[in-house]
A and B are shown apart, each in its own frame.
Chain A
Amino acid sequence: MIEVRDLVKVYPGPVPALQGVSLNLPPGMFGLLGPNGSGKTTFMRILAGLLDPTAGKVFWDGEDVTRRPERVWPRLGLLPQDFGFYPDLTGREMLTYLLRLKGVEAPGGLTDLSAELLERVNLTDAADRRTGAYSGGMKRRLGIAQAIAGDPKLLIIDEPTAGLDPEERMRVASLLSELAQHRTVVLSTHIVDDVATLCPRLAFIRSGRLLASTSPGRARAALRGRLLEGSVEAEAGQNLIRTAEESAGRIAVTRTLLREGRSLVRCFVRDGARPDGFEPVEPTLEDAYVLLMRGVVGPASMDEAVA
């Protein structure tokens, strides 16, 4: 169990990136959802021992590892959001290089292990090509391969499926799910459905603060019955949006899609009348994310809100 207590990070400026985040990260997949600039990456880097916090602590199985990152690294698999590889090394060479740095061993040796891992991420045919010639998706898959190598007890994955096609994303999801059975996998992303599919637990973070720590089911349950969807004329759709903006949170539009001259509108109504032509629909985690980020629904409406 990884416990994060009152984590604060203020960059010079001052720029407060984290403002007292407390969280428990049990074994399994854990999602971190938030908009760009919310502090997810800062949180992940502190967890990975690459950044000192301004205040707060991180405990791992009861041990304070905040300023002892060397205690974290042997048990860590990291895939940052923005990363690259040495362009003159082949994929195989690069993976082997990183396996060595991580101290990874396998019965068949690193060469066989590299081949296996590259197979898992569908890079066998490109294994002997220089990484400088890899596409973004290939690099991300190689990054995943090195992140899952060894026996990491903590996996920190920032935007795991960015740049991947659907088949690749399914493969990656499968890998991560398998890994999450016996370790903590922290997924940071703003793709809501990745979290919805993979993570039994998640946290919403905005402007450096933790809004809620819950499960996808509970988050959706908090909206059930109050999420409506309807198809209206485009102008009617615009009117509805204006109405929602003036309603002081009683009505909130979560999505509008223009399709063949009509607006498919999805909205949340706190109480009161249902707009004409709108029917209740099953809420998605994306709805919960949008409404929470806008402050339309409060953390208390979701079970296990932040204390």
Chain B
Amino acid sequence: MNESRILTVAAAEARSALRRPLWWLLVLGAVVTTLSLSSTAALPSGDGPSGPIEPYANSVHALSFFFGLSGFLLFGFFASVLGGMSVIRDDEHRVVDLIHATPLTAEEYVTGKLAGVGAALGVALVVQVCALAGFYEVLGAGGAVVGPFDLVNYAYPVVAFALPALFGFAGLAFAVGARTRQPLSVMVVPALLVFSLPFFLTWSPPWLGAVGDGVLMTLDPSGLRWYLRVALAPGLSVTEVNSGAIPYDGLLLLNRMIWVGATAFLVWRARRWVGPAGGSRGRAAALETSASGSERGARSADPQFGSAPEGVASGAVAPGMGARTPPLRDLEMVSRRARPYRTLAALVATELRGARRQPLLWGLTALLVGLVWSEGAQSFGPFGEPLIRTSGGLATQLFGTLSFAMCTVLLFVVVEGLHRGRVVGVHEVEFATPTPTWVLLASRPLAALGVCLAMVGVVIVTTIPLIVVQPGGRLDLLPFLLVWGALMLPTLALWAAVTTLVYSSVRSRYTTYAIGFGLLMLSLRYLQHSSTTWVTNWTMAGTLQWSDMGPLQLDRIAIVLNRAWVATLALTTMATAIVVFRRTERDPATRTSVGVRIGRALRPVAPFAVLSGIFVVLLGAEVRAGFQGEAAREVAEKYWRMNAARWSDASLPTRSHVALEILLEPDAGRAEVAGRYHLINRHDRALTRIPFTVRPALGSVEWSVEGRGIPVEDRSGLHVVTLSPALAPGDSVRLNFSFTGTYPAGVTRNGGGTEQFVLPSGVVLHTLRDSFLPQPGFDAGIRPREALRPVPPEPSESEGEESQLRPPGASLFTTTITVDVPAAYRTAVVGHRVQSDTVAGRVLDRWVTRKPVGDISVLAGRWAERREGSTALYHLPEHDRNVEAMFDALLAARTSYSRWFHPYPWEDLKLSEVPGLTRNAIGFPTNISFSEHLGFRSQPVNGLSTAFVVTAHEVAHQWWGNLVSAGTGPGSDHLVEGMASYASLLLVDDHLGVEAGRSYRRQLEATYLSSRRVDREPAVARVLPTGGGSRAVTVDKGAWVQWMLHDVIGRERALAGLRDFVDAYSSGTSLPGLPQMLAHLRERAPDPNAFDRFVDQWFFDTILPEFGVGDLVVEEEATGWAVSFVLANRGTGDVEVDVGVRTEAGMSSRRVRISPTRDVPVRIVVPQRPSEVVVDPDVQVLQNHRDRARIRLD
């Protein structure tokens, strides 16, 4: 190869690249990402001896993540365009024949081209590295923590992640462009790689296994899957992240070699596809046939026309032509004024016909199908359990992803459609026709929309198997048509219009790509910000919640206004594009004034802009007035400012009884409530003024005593009623109230769900949070903006050592609740139903509680009922798949928990399915509400019924949370969530079998290990109730720790201790903490010292053993086989654990005690040949890397 020629080609290519706006936009993007992309997002933080430890933003770990993501997403796109269009551009400029009619070889051409592109990209990368180094090392990283400078920290990530991405994208796109010579095919490359990124990063179904995971790590072009799973393995401390190097790993090397090698191979092949012969597709000279049989006519060098006289007579026959040709006027052609809509339809049809012949659009469709499949196949519930896929669930789950994917596709298809005329050279002919500009311009984006809708149609059809392959899977096309069709269309229309406007303004295909890509990335970033609302969320991503019990009933007005706004904005944008677009090249010297141009532009644009503005204003008003809007925030701030100082410590009477009459109108979203509180003054002084917190949803509340209105001061949501006469100590009064509430009160801020609602799909009202009733006292949970709110003090370690008295405002009370609903509904209310009448199409149910409760819940729905005695399960008739498992759990839990903890104190136990606008379950006394996404959609994991498990967990809250209410000290969460999880462990073990129990414990262990923060894990007894703790510690580890207590004090003694504890606190007058429970358990312990050791390690410390087997020797002896090994604890903790040897006859095990400082030699003799050595075969000890403590011997 001739180096000089290579350099010439490279220099020309680099020069061309560096002059293009596309490159400058890349540099701009590179600098912007430096400032906005956090390098520490994936890194752990922790606690050190002198305070929190944050990850260094300039560590090799942080920068690897940064360059991995930036290289793939940002540089990948631009590298694809620069590399892929390199050869195509030479075709379009028609220089191919010229440059290849020289000694330049194909190898030199390819090498030079790629070198030039690489140089341009390299310069941009250098700019980014310098900007990053300047930002971190010089400017201090804007508040992020920065460690010592080390050049290797920058060099390694650039070499390992950024450069392979640049080469890969540029090379791959170059090869694709050289082969196909079609710009759309080039755009498939970044689309393919970006769409695949979520798949490679997150796809980990339970069945994948280590081998499958390894394969994916090897194939992932970004290398980030390896990084997140190996380099940044769970368990890595922040100190190790900050100071350690990334391990040199053969898997990463293999990954890089595959990616780079495959690209290099394709680039090497590309040399066959470049040059005049390589571009023959579409440029080959066709054989001509004619009626005269004349073919391949030699083009005469003689320009003479022959001897025809000046001017040729009309109708004259050219010499030698044979039969006379009829005159043109016989065709009777006329040109009329073009019919714009008909012409538009014809143009769109032509474009669609052309699109149908683009095989790469089908390739893009296949990509979309792959994206939908990979993301749609992963659907998990709040407990991490896999969920049955439903049409509505899939449609809303993938709505945001599919919208952005379609916008990416639209960017390419619209730009290529608009630019194609210019490329092929037909644009001047098109412009010089009477067809209006708006028809010429709008036909392309309209056709592109048609292409996109066709793609979505294909995606819908190919998504069907995701649902029907599931046993009992029910297909419903309506959600797809509604969500992916009608609701997505305005988003796509707006994006098509924006792309058209950008192209009309800049008239450059590459600049349009760059701007469009940048806008999409910015949108994606912004939409994750908390300031996004319905008004700014033009894609509606993340807003939709589907419920099979009634689709899209929440926020309907917001959805309609948002779509209307976006659709009219699309029209406004398109109208602007038409105004901006020029068919005639303007002369700079004759340009009209800005005012005239604006005036001319306003006329066609104004109507759409006005309409769009109206919708925006209406939508903004709805958001502001909604229960999450500015108006509510202002009320909350005023509530806090006016009342916190004066009323937060107010003395409150005790509620002994609550009587309610509730008229529910689900269709209107309304609940008319008339209620009565029986209040008793248990203080030693009279109470005159009593505050009640009234949420905005309640509207206007009328108060009275014995039928007389009473003075009430409304202090921005704190109603202070004045009793006259005052309520003397020991006296009681019946305070009446009535109101008509709307639930929810207005729209959400940006979609998502809500916990309480009155909707046609169902009713959920309760008093736990944002109470639907007036609540006694000041509610410290109503939070103003942080600046106004003082930081609450951390609870001291000694807090919780004594139980707390239940505050009067949170007293237990009996209830009498009457609910009036349309006859199509059933109700489920706290208490026991004593009466049910149906009158005039409405049902009147009366519910009472005899044992006091702390909270009220009212549920209603169009349910089917599964009942046995006083235990009932209400569900949507179609959601019957897991009903039997859940009902089984309901019955078993009621029976077993009554035996283990305390007899169930109430009559009814009900579990009711509610619309998935809330994603959790709440266990009120006698009345459990279950989101339709929980339990009803759960799928088994490793043969274990997760529906059974989650039901068992939630039923346990009847005891742990309701019967015994925990205090607020550290560790008190364990009494609620930890104990509920422990109860479900017991029930699974007892009811589903020993093997199911082991499987469940393994799942809890895996969940705990994958989500624990190594450097910041609080001990179980130190988890704060204010959310400063960790769910993994409370739910997963807490259950395990409670289970392991069985080994220390015995299962029956442990349960007896728990019964003692529940008996002591079931009256509800005092709120215990963890120390109280441990005290009761200790009383049952046969060896208190062993109990104390266990509690100190597992409750008050954060030990985690990790076992290893070494020096393994297997010898056949006269009496059998002797298996000898050394057991080590590479983790922490002084623990006892079983070690076993498995043979065909079974498991032979013995117990050993082991600590990190003392390895234990073990010898076990078995009668038959051993097949396996297993530490903790019965899954009784929480440990790390359980799989490594298992050795196969065959």
Query: What is the interface of chain A, defined by CB distance below 8 A to chain B?
Result: 9-10, 12, 28-29, 45, 48-54, 69-70, 72-76, 78-80, 82-89, 93, 97-98, 100-107, 113, 116-117, 120, 122, 124-126, 129, 132-135, 137-138, 143, 146, 148-152, 163-171, 173-175, 177-181, 191-194, 196-200, 215-217
Contact = CB atoms under 8 A, between A and B. Distances in A.
Interface string B281-323: 0111110111110100111101111101011111111111100
Given A138-B286, A197-B305, A167 B320 contact: yes
Given A103-B338, A106-B332, A148-B328, A165 B300 contact: yes
A88 B352 CA distance: 11
Interface residues of B, number: 76
A150 B327 contact: no
The CB with the most chain B CB atoms within 10 A, among A100, A126, A177, is that of A100
Contacts of A79: 429
B357 interface: yes
Contacts of A125: 288-291
Given A97-B350, A191-B303, A107 B584 contact: no
A133 B286 contact: yes
A113 B429 contact: no
Given A83-B426, A167-B297, A9 B343 contact: no
B353 interface: yes
Interface string B971-1007: 0000000000000000000000000000000000000
A52 B425 CA distance: 20
Interface in B45-102: none
A162 to B, nearest CB: 10
Contact of B583 (A50, A97, A135, A194): A50
Contacts of B321: 167, 170-171, 174
Given A50-B428, A122-B291, A177-B312, A116 B585 contact: no
Contact of B310 (A51, A173, A197): A197
Q: Which of A97, A126, A216 has the most CB of B within 10 A?
A: A97
B288 A103 contact: no
A126 B584 contact: no
Contact of B432 (A48, A52, A89): A48
Task: Count chain B CB atoms within 10 A of each CB in A10, A28, A70, A86 and give the residue with the most.
Answer: A86
Nearest to B343: A100
B305 A83 contact: no
B353 to A, nearest CB: 7
21 contacts: A49-B584, A50-B584, A51-B587, A52-B584, A53-B590, A79-B429, A83-B425, A83-B429, A86-B354, A87-B424, A101-B343, A102-B435, A106-B333, A122-B291, A135-B285, A165-B298, A166-B297, A166-B302, A173-B312, A178-B328, A200-B311
A70 B434 contact: yes
Contact of A120 (B317, B325, B337, B358): B325
Contact of A167 (B314, B318, B353): B318
B92 to A, nearest CB: 10
Contacts, number: 234
A165 B284 contact: no
Given A126-B288, A165-B300, A167-B297, A85 B426 contact: yes
A52 B290 contact: no
Contact of B585 (A52, A124, A137): A52
A125 B310 CA distance: 33
Contacts of A192: 303
Contacts of B434: 70, 73-74, 101-103
A163 B328 contact: no
B646 interface: no
Given A69-B583, A101-B433, A178-B327, A197 B308 contact: yes
Given A97-B350, A132-B282, 16 more contacts: A12-B588, A45-B428, A48-B432, A49-B432, A87-B424, A102-B338, A102-B435, A103-B337, A105-B336, A165-B298, A166-B302, A170-B318, A170-B319, A181-B314, A194-B303, A196-B310
B346 interface: yes
A165 B305 contact: no
A90 to B, nearest CB: 10
Contacts of A169: 305
B229 interface: no
B584 A193 contact: no
Contact of A178 (B288, B315, B332, B339): B315
B333 A113 contact: yes
Contact of B336 (A50, A86, A103, A122): A103
Contact of A73 (B284, B342, B425, B432): B432
Contact of A83 (B314, B428, B584): B428
Contacts of A88: 354, 357-358
A208 to B, nearest CB: 15
Interface in B569-593: 583-590
A193 B304 contact: yes
Contacts of A103: 335-339, 343, 433-435
B335 A104 contact: yes
A101 B318 contact: no
Contacts of A217: 310
Contacts of B632: none
A169 B312 CA distance: 13
A48 B434 CA distance: 12
Nearest to A182: B329
B331 interface: yes
Contacts of B469: none
A76 B434 CA distance: 9
B431 interface: yes
Nearest to B425: A84
A191 B301 CA distance: 12
A177 B584 contact: no
A87 B282 contact: yes
Contacts of A134: 286
B338 A177 contact: no
Contacts of B354: 86, 88-89
B334 interface: yes
Nearest to B423: A84
B335 A100 contact: no
A126 B295 CA distance: 12
Contacts of B306: 170, 197
A94 to B, nearest CB: 8
B701 interface: no
Contacts of A193: 303-305
B634 interface: no
Contacts of B283: 132
A97 B584 contact: no
Q: Which of A50, A79, A196 has the most CB of B within 10 A?
A: A50
A10 B589 contact: yes
A146 B312 CA distance: 22
Nearest to B335: A150
Contacts of A87: 282, 424
Contacts of A73: 432-434
Contacts of B339: 103
Instruction: Pick the 8 closest A-B CB pairs, nearest first.
Output: A170-B318, A165-B297, A150-B335, A84-B425, A177-B312, A103-B338, A84-B424, A74-B434
Contact of B586 (A52, A107, A171): A52
A217 B309 CA distance: 11
B398 interface: no
A126 B289 contact: yes
A76 B432 contact: yes
Nearest to A103: B338
Nearest to A146: B429
A101 B338 contact: yes
Contacts of A76: 432-433
B431 A50 contact: yes
A9 B589 CA distance: 10
Nearest to A286: B303
Contacts of A80: 425, 428-429
Contacts of A173: 305, 308, 312, 318
Contacts of A126: 286, 288-289
A197 B304 CA distance: 9
